[in-house]
Each structure stands twice: as structure tokens, then as C-alpha cells.
Structure 1
Amino acid sequence: MGEHTRKVGDRGQVTIPKELRDRRGIEGGDEIEFVELDDKILLKPPTDTERLAEGYRKRADRSRRLTEEMEETSSEATERLGDAPDWSE
């Protein structure tokens, strides 16, 4: 976290630094929520259902790719080493 200073324009407008917009996924046209907390004003992008769903889709894709990689690695190990021994008695 760092501090960023911006000047407020005559009409109350402030530009959110690009670094923060990029890191938080804020794009032109997005709505920003203003939250007053003690002596601070917090800005936060509201969590909309589409953004949340996109995050879940990305996580599912990563999990699917990891599963495929593990299955491939497991198959390669079985080909080279044979089936795992049966340890049950």
C-alpha cells in the first residue's frame, strides 16, 4: 500500500492513479463506492455479480488446468515406475 496524492478539481473530480486502477481492476465507466469512516473517505469498487462470477470462472479454469497437469504427471509416473504397490494387508 502506498499513498497517492491528487488535486481535487473545481467540480470535485479526482483522478484515481493508474497503478491503483490497474491493480484493483477499475475501468472507465465503473461505479465507485464512497465510504466515510471516522476521519477518512474510502473509495472502493462495489463487488458486482459479473466481476465475482469472472473471478470464480478464472479460479475454476486454474483448478481444471492443475488437475489436467497432475493427471498427466501421474500417468507419466505410472508408465515409468509402474503401478503403486498395494500396501494393504
Structure 2
Amino acid sequence: MSEPETRKVGDRGQVTLPKRLREAFDIHGGDEVTIREAGDKIVIEKPTSRADLAEGYRRRAEHHRELADEMAGSSREANASLGDAPGWEE
């Protein structure tokens, strides 16, 4: 985390974001930001784009598929070693 910077609030409530933060978070003139309260703080953040959100869901789904494949393999190994449990039907 970088050192905080002090900015003055203009008469209309406007504050200029420091250039290094705009560059770091890829914020340009005309972009929208989200402003919310978090306890006793004001948080300004770049909204998550639909593309970023979709990519996150794709990665999560792939991770779940990998886990399911791993568990299926473990289940097959257990069945091969231990045999079926009595009274168990798939």
C-alpha cells in the first residue's frame, strides 16, 4: 500500500484522483467509479466490468470441474481397492 495523499475538495465536492492511482487502476476521464461508505471511510473503486466478472465465473467453473474430476478419480480408486459397500447402489 502506498503513502496517502491529501487533496482538497472543491466547492462542488469534486476531488482529483492522483495520476499514479489513475494509471495503476486504469481509470481515465469519463470512466465511472463506485463510491460507497465502509464504516467510517469513503471507498472509491473501479466497478468490475462484465467481461472481468464473466472471466471470474469461467475460472471458478473450471476449478470446480477440476475438483469434480479429481474426486471422481479418488472415488474410482477407493472402489477398486475397497470394493462396493454392502447395499450401495449407484
Task: Work out the CA distance in 1 between the residues paired with 2:3 and 2:34.
Answer: 17
**C-alpha deviation, 1:40, in angstroms:** 5.7
CA RMSD of aligned residues (A): 3.2
Change (3 A) 1:87 1:69: closer
The number of residues matched between the two structures is 74
**C-alpha deviation, 1:48, in angstroms:** 1.5
Unaligned runs of 5+ in 2: 8-15
Name the structure 2 match of 1:83. Answer: 84
Residues 13-68 of structure 1 show CA distances to partners (whole Å, capped at 9, x for unaligned) of 4133xxxx6xxxx4x3674505275x964311112110110111011011000000
TM-score when scaled to structure 1? Answer: 0.61
3-state secondary structure, aligned to 2:44: strand
Change (3 A) 1:52 1:77: same
**C-alpha deviation, 1:85, in angstroms:** 1.4
Unaligned runs of 5+ in 1: none
TM-score when scaled to structure 2? Answer: 0.61
3-state secondary structure, aligned to 2:35: strand
What are the residue-to-residue correspondences of 1:1-89 with 2, within 5 Å? Answer: 4-6=3-5, 12-14=16-18, 15-16=20-21, 26=25, 28=26, 31=31, 33-35=33-35, 41-86=42-87
Percent of paired sites with the same residue = 35
The one-letter code sitting in structure 1 at the alignment partner of 2:43 is L
